[in-house]
A and B are shown apart, each in its own frame.
Chain A
Amino acid sequence: MTAPLKVDIWSDIACPWCYIGKRRFEDGVERYRANGGDAAVEVEYHSFELAPDTPVDFDGSEVDFLAEHKGMPAAAVKGMLQQVTDIAASVGLHYDFDALRHTKTYRAHQVLHLAKAHGRQAELKERFLKAYFEEGRHLGRDSELIALAAEVGLDPELVRAALAEDAHRDDVAADIAQARAYGISGVPFFVIDEKFGVSGAQEPQVFAAALEQAAAARGDAS
């Protein structure tokens, strides 16, 4: 039995390419299998805050936020968001930037660490991304984080207590420090077996090939 290929993924929630990249990576894993790859693929998500200075509450739309934040005309922002929406649709995602609630993701990352400790990280990562990009949920609010975590099987009181105590503050900081140590400045970023790096929302065949190369490298080393 081949040992699992370990894939460490640095990503943020407020990151449109991270969700698109997640889908493409998952497609890549399927292609790796279809091509005869027999190693299990073990995924661990790591925290990355793209914009730590983002306010928890912003009174306006995503277009308003970006137009104000970047000094761009609203029409240009709308055009860009439509392009991202179209690319997301190509991988089966239904982004709704009109409903999106732009917010700080620091506390959501803490809950993802709690979920990891309880074996529910993959489910919660998917739930958070869907809630943020498709459902317009406010992921800066504890009540929303608790409700979404409960949907994937986490005890609401456990989540509430962890947030109240900032129990996973150090875990988030450690992930961000690790990213810095690795030289990661953009996300999503995929590290396979601590040897191979894949940056960005690459096409599925890139991920499939990377997994094949990582598996072959193990053979070379044995």
Chain B
Amino acid sequence: MTAERDETAPSPFTLLGDPDAVACDGDSCEIPAATVRAPGDETGEPVTST
């Protein structure tokens, strides 16, 4: 299968688990906001890396 998929279409799979689990997307890998903050940043906003 090589066709482009309509990204607004439902996933072809039954998705299991936490939809917000850590993953890499594009050239960014999300780090859990609860555990990572820039020095002096107390907002807890998500940050990305690698």
A residues contacting B by CB (< 8 A) are 12, 14-18, 20-21, 50-51, 54, 62, 66, 69-70, 72-73, 75-77, 79-81, 83-84, 174, 177-178, 180-183, 185-189, 191, 194-203, 206, 209-210, 213
Interface residues of B, dominant DSSP: loop
Question: Are B23 and A178 in contact, CB atoms less than 8 angstroms apart?
Answer: no
Closest residue of chain B to A62 (Cβ to Cβ) is: B50
Question: Are A196 and B16 in contact, CB atoms less than 8 angstroms apart?
Answer: yes
20 A/B residue pairs, CB under 8 Å, sorted by A: A12-B24, A16-B50, A50-B24, A50-B26, A50-B27, A70-B49, A79-B37, A84-B31, A182-B5, A183-B5, A183-B12, A197-B14, A197-B16, A199-B21, A200-B21, A201-B21, A201-B22, A202-B18, A203-B17, A210-B17
Question: Are B17 and A206 in contact, CB atoms less than 8 angstroms apart?
Answer: yes
B residues contacting A by CB (< 8 A) are 1-5, 7, 9, 11-29, 31-32, 35-39, 47-50
Bound-complex Cα distance A54 to B26 (A): 11
Chain A nearest Cβ from B24, distance in angstroms: 5
Bound-complex Cα distance A210 to B16 (A): 7
Q: Contacts of B19 on A, CB cut-off 8 Å?
A: 199
A-B pairs, 3 with minimum CB distance: A200-B21, A197-B13, A186-B25
Q: Contacts of B32 on A, CB cut-off 8 Å?
A: 83
Bound-complex Cα distance A53 to B47 (A): 22
Given the interface pairs A15-B29, A76-B47, A79-B39, the reply to whether A181 lies near B3 with Cβ below 8 Å is yes
Chain A nearest Cβ from B26, distance in angstroms: 6
Q: Contacts of B18 on A, CB cut-off 8 Å?
A: 200, 202-203, 206
Task: Pick the residue among A17, A70, A191, A203 that contacts B24 (CB under 8 A).
Answer: A17
Q: Contacts of B24 on A, CB cut-off 8 Å?
A: 12, 15-18, 50, 186-187
Q: Contacts of A194 on B, CB cut-off 8 Å?
A: 13
Chain B nearest Cβ from A177, distance in angstroms: 4
